[in-house]
Amino acid sequence: MTDAGNLGGKAGRTLLFVHGRDFKPAPDTLMDLAISAMQAGVERDYPEFADDFNELDKRLAYYGDITGEFLIAQGRRYDETLDLGDRRNALIKLRSYERKKHFGISRYDRLPGKSALPEFAADVIVPVLGKLGLSKALINRVGPDIAEYWNPDSDFASRIRERVRASICLALDVGNDLMVLSHGTGCIVTYDVLWQLSHDPEYAEKYREKKIDVWLTAGAPLGDSMTAKRLFGADRSGVERYPVNILSWHNLSAEDDFVSHDDTVADDFRPMMKQKQVSCIRDYKVYNLAVRYGKSNPHSSLGYLVHPRTAQIIVEWLQNSPGLTALTEHP
């Protein structure tokens, strides 16, 4: 399945969500949760835009069946009923935060099970192991589907890219203004696909000049040096090194999110600005208040999707006015 639905839509605008790694529930269920989280953020902070958001054409680029099949073959187990229950409980709690100011450090520091150890591991241990040539072994253990994505002898990555590419191309073919919201390692897949549409002769002739209005990345590992070396175009130079089909790029990274431990992309992708391949690249440090299985989970997609910064970026795109009043707090 390449696209979970046109879930109704205001003509002219499409919002496409690209999920991340690991097991995922069925596409319709996953999309319902994602929409509910984004909707809660918009209704909380910009209620006058609730109807505009509800009328959007919303789509999902889904490849959870591919990752799930691989992980099961690796001996991993998945209880979808339990996962769904916990996701819904997490969203209920996130929706209970009724003000933007609730998404700050004081409330984050009170979350259960919060620990700086994952951030320390990402900032210190992984880079050191990488220099020793051992980080791949660590990734194999923690996220074998990530390692498989970079396995040149497997068709795993090409199958996933095909799903995401089909969803993006379908949205571009319609001709709507397009916002792509990618989470976690879904940001890697999206980047690779956007590079293909920019420079791969199989796709570039048709899609090179078609633009993504807004790319919002959340919990992205794109600033990580090991990831950067494996992105499509990393072996090229000049304009061919980067995608040319993004107008505005907004990047959210949560405190203690070990996946996005290198929490800025504007510095890593500065040549895109110098070469006029993108209008802006902006980084935002946020606090992800999601609690999964009784513990703080700063990488949770729901915590990113419901966040005030996400709501602001969506509403700015809806009204096509970058000058929308900024958040008074910079969580």
Decide if 84 is inside a domain.
yes
Give the pLDDT of residue 54.
Answer: 95
Q: Is residue 5 part of a domain?
A: no
Determine the Cα–Cα distance for residues 76 and 41; give it in Å rounded to an integer.
34
Task: Give me the chain's average pLDDT, please.
Answer: 88
Two tokens, residue 146: 């990530």
- Of 84-93, 142-151, 202-211, 317-326, least confident by mean pLDDT is 317-326
pTM, 2 dp: 0.90
Q: What is the number of alpha carbons within 13 Å of residue 322 lying toward its C-beta?
A: 9
- 């229950």: which residue's tokens? 85
The token pair that represents 11 in the structure block: 């003509």
Asked if the structure places residue 296 within a domain, the reply is: yes
Average pLDDT over residues 290-318: 97
pLDDT at 175: 92
The phi and psi torsions of 36 (rounded to 5 degrees) equal: -60, -40
Amino acid 133: pLDDT: 41
Is 3 a member of any domain? no
283 and 251 in contact (C-beta within 8 Å)? yes
What tokens were used for 275?
A: 């070469």
At residue 186's C-alpha, the angle toward residues 271 and 4, to 5°, is 130
Residue 58 inside a domain? The answer is: yes
pLDDT classification of 2: cutoffs 50, 70, 90 = very low
Would you say 179 and 171 are in contact if contact means Cβ atoms under 8 Å apart? no
How buried is residue 8: exposed, middle or buried, by Cβ count under 10 Å (0-12/13-18/19+)?
A: exposed
How many domains would you assign to the chain?
Answer: 1
Q: What angle do CA 254, 17, 175 make, to 5 degrees?
A: 130
Mean pLDDT of the 5-22 span: 77
- The reply to whether 128 falls in a domain is yes
Give one word for 128, left, alpha or beta, with left for phi > 0 and alpha for psi -120 to 50.
alpha
Percent above pLDDT 90 for the chain: 78
Torsional sign, CA 55, 56, 57, 58 = negative
C-alpha span between 152 and 247 (Å, rounded): 31
Is residue 4 domain-resident? no
Answer whether 260's CB lies under 8 Å from 220's CB. Answer: yes
Question: Average pLDDT for residues 117-139, to the nearest whole number?
Answer: 47
Residue 128, pLDDT score: 42
172 in any annotated domain: yes
215-265 pLDDT, tens digit each = 999 999 999 888 999 999 999 999 999 999 999 999 999 999 988 888 899
**Residue 155, SS3 per DSSP:** coil
Give the pLDDT mean for 18-37.
Answer: 97
Gap between the Cα atoms of 287 and 330, Å rounded: 10
List the domain range (segments joined by +) for residue 313.
10-319
* Residue-wise pLDDT tens digits, 130-183: 443 435 554 555 578 988 999 999 999 999 999 999 999 999 999 999 999 999
> Residue 329 has what pLDDT?
39
Q: What's the pLDDT at 139?
A: 56
